[in-house]
Structure formats: structure tokens, C-alpha cells
Amino acid sequence: MEKAQVAVKEIIEASGNENVLCMKLDLADSKSIREFAEAINKVEPKLNILINNAGVMVCPYGKTADGFEMQIGVNHFGHFLLTYLLIDLIKKSAPARIVTVSSMAHSYGSINLEDINSEKGYDKGKAYGQSKLANVLFTRSLAKRLEDTGVTTYSLHPGVVQTDLWRHLNGPQQFLWKLATPFTKNSTQGAQTTIYCAVEPSLEKESGGYYSDCAPASCSSAGKDDNLAQKLWELSCRLLSITWD
């Protein structure tokens, strides 16, 4: 929260807009998600843009407060629950957009419906790929459910960006990362495709697609699998104990 308050001050100074609010949200804890959504629903008259941007990557095996494997728990289940809790306000605010930050790593991911929490065996790279594929499938499923509501959905690859997301790399990986850094994006460059999906006027009628470098991009064949998307949706609702048809 301290870092966030510094960011709020910077945004106010740079934009001249005093109406910038920071609120606490832990995507690894459904209690925190519910408290946050309740506060938003109570205080905000409308919500035009939701950007699902929280993320953990290739971390050691761990579990969220609700017992989900950390990467699928934060990157997918946390955003799924947050969006569910805010969806009525978002619909009421139409035209509105829901942007979920995925990654090109979705292309080497697969969804293990029988062991979504990697309890039978944990490969941190595969678990990350699974969570990012889940982002693409969630966006696709959501688009179908929001047809004719004025709410559109987008998933994207932000690029390889210099942020703290890389903190869990081991020694040799850190060395390679340092060598690659000149060819990566800084955080301003890395935010551009997210911003494009959130505000680009020409995307007004587009929904459910995947983007990279501020343009439509191809996702993996698994990312277009509507049957898999539906199964993941049903599993997510069951594990989160919610009903979202």
C-alpha cells in the first residue's frame, strides 16, 4: 500500500486529476476480493474499464488462502471471482471493457482439468502457461456471455517487460534475463497493448480476441477451444462456489 500511495501521488501530479483512489486487493485471498468488490459496488456509480493485471510467474509451489496453486489461483481464479463480483456494475456502465493480461506463454500451456492445482506434480513453467491459457479462455467465454450487453472483452500479450514479475527466476535464468534486457520493454512500453485494448475506439465492436503489440494476434489452438473454455468455466464456478451461467 505504501508503494501504491507513492504511485497515486505521481499520477495526480502528472495528470492534474485529483480523483485517483488506491484500494487494497489481494488476488490470492477470496475474502480480500469480496471485501474489495463490495467497497467498489458501494462507492462507485459506474465501472467502464476493468483491467485484470495481477500476476505471479514461475514461483515456487505455494497455495493461496483458498487452497489454489498460487499461479492458477492469482492469475485465473482471483480475476474470475473479481470480475464475477463486479459484472453487474460493469453491465450497468456500458459501454464498458474487461481487459485480462495474458502472455505468449499461454501457447505452451494446457489446462489440466483433473489436477488444476498441480497437486500430483508441479512444474512452475507449465503451471504459469496453464494460468495464462486460462486468461485467454476466460476472455473468450466471457465475450459469449456478454453478447449484446455493450460490454466487450480482450486478452493480450504485453511483451517481455522489465518488472518484478521475473523475481522468481533461478541464478542461470537471471543471468540470461540480464543479457536479454536490452531487447525487452520498459513498463511504459509494456503497458501500451493493455491501454490499446482498454480505449482504442476501433475495438468497440470487437470482443473475445487476443492482442499483441497493439494489434490483433493469433492465440494457440487451445486458446480457441470453446469446449475446453466451457469446462474451465464450469470448474472455476464449482471451485469458487459461485453460479455464473
Please write down the HEC assignment for all residues of the chain: CHHHHHHHHHHHHHHCCCCCCCCCCCCCCHHHHHHHHHHHHHHCCCCCEEEECCCCCCCCCCECCCCCEHHHHHHHHHHHHHHHHHHHHHHHCCCEEEEEECCHHHHHCCCCCCCCCCCCCCCHHHHHHHHHHHHHHHHHHHHHHCCCCCEEEEEEECCCECCHHHHHCCHHHHHHHHHHHHHCECHHHHCHHHHHHHHCHHHCCCCCEEEECCEECCCCCHHHCHHHHHHHHHHHHHHHCCCCC
Active site residues: 128
CA–CA distance, 144 with 128 (Å, rounded to integer) = 25
* Grid cell locating 218: 493469433
Beta bridge partners of 57: none
